Amino acid sequence: MKLYIGNKNYSSWSMRSGVLLAAFGIAFEEEMLRLDFNPGAEWRRTLCAVSPAGKVPVLVDDDGFAVWDTLAIAEFVADSHPEHAIWPRDARARARARSLCAEMHTGFTRLRTVCPMNIEAFFPEVGAKLWAEDDALRAEVARLDAAWRDALAASGGPFLFGGFSAADAFFAPVAVRLSRFSLPVSDAAAAYRDALLAHPAVEDWIAEAMREQDFLAEAEPYRTGR
């Protein structure tokens, strides 16, 4: 299979699919397309040749069948590799994991907007200012914290549903955001955040993002250069 991704430093959606495949040792080829926000950019033309959505990530199977959107990719991988517990085996835990992924997929818009994905940069001062002034951000982090604590209490950890699953891959970019902006969370949520950042698949993604040494001004609300 081939996974088309954007810059590892900036593309949270790409991170979800890349970490998921790597965490379960599923073989795939990776093609990174440098993000370019110009509508006529070459990366969009490349993507549109394999996916009508024209967005990363896109997973292309061996026979050329393309799947886009992180939730659809997770489901396709789970169907293709039933030997792996991509989703929890227990039906109710599986439903809860999907619920949390869907909530992440469509929600937490304030967190994602004011604390954008940027693996190589740390913004503790920005995070402190946002935390003091932004009610919506604090409310979303509180909801995130509660969701993590509930899942961990039910499963016993160390990941949301015991062993690493698609749910953890979905929250990997969130763990990055919390750490880079130094946003406060409960002890239980902090322990999970740290366990997620220490997972080998997440560590590898972060290390490769740090090596990119690329600067995209359009994705940088808090820096004017590297």
Cα–Cα distance measured from residue 5 to residue 205, given in angstroms and rounded to the nearest whole number: 12
Q: 100-146: per-residue pLDDT in tens?
A: 999 999 999 999 999 999 999 999 999 999 999 999 999 999 999 99
Q: Reply yes or no: is the peptide bond before residue 116 cis, omega within 30 of 0.
A: no
Residue 100 has a pLDDT of 98
Is pLDDT above 80 for 40?
no
Residue count (the chain): 226
Domain chopping of the chain, boundaries:
2-84, 91-206
Q: 149-207: per-residue pLDDT in tens?
A: 999 999 999 999 999 999 999 999 999 999 999 999 999 999 999 999 999 999 999 99
Residue 63 has a pLDDT of 96
Residue 204 has a pLDDT of 98
H/E element holding 60?
strand 58-60
Cβ contact 169:75 at 8 Å: no
| CA-atom Rg of the chain in angstroms | 17
Q: Which long-range contacts (CB under 8 A, 24 or more apart) does 142-150 make?
A: 143/108, 144/108, 144/111, 144/174, 144/185, 144/189, 145/185, 145/186, 145/189, 147/100, 147/103, 148/188, 148/189, 148/192, 149/186, 149/188, 149/189
Cα–Cα distance measured from residue 145 to residue 143, given in angstroms and rounded to the nearest whole number: 5
Q: Angle, nearest 10°, between helix axes 124-133 and 135-155?
A: 100
What's the pLDDT band for 41 if we cut at 50, 70, 90?
confident
For residue 34, how many other CB atoms are within 10 A of its CB? 13
Which ranges in 156-197 belong to alpha helices (H)?
166-180, 187-197
Q: State the fold for domain 91-206.
A: Glutathione S-transferase Yfyf (Class Pi); Chain A, domain 2 (1.20.1050)
Q: 72-81: per-residue pLDDT in tens?
A: 999 999 999 9
CATH number of the 2-84 domain? 3.40.30.10
What strands lie across the sheet with 58-60, from one edge to the other?
29-32, 2-5, 58-60, 66-68
The SS3 call for residue 35 is coil
Q: 48-59: per-residue pLDDT in tens?
A: 999 999 899 999
> Which tops the pLDDT comparison, 42 or 165?
165
Cβ contact 105:48 at 8 Å: no
What's the pLDDT band for 43 if we cut at 50, 70, 90?
confident
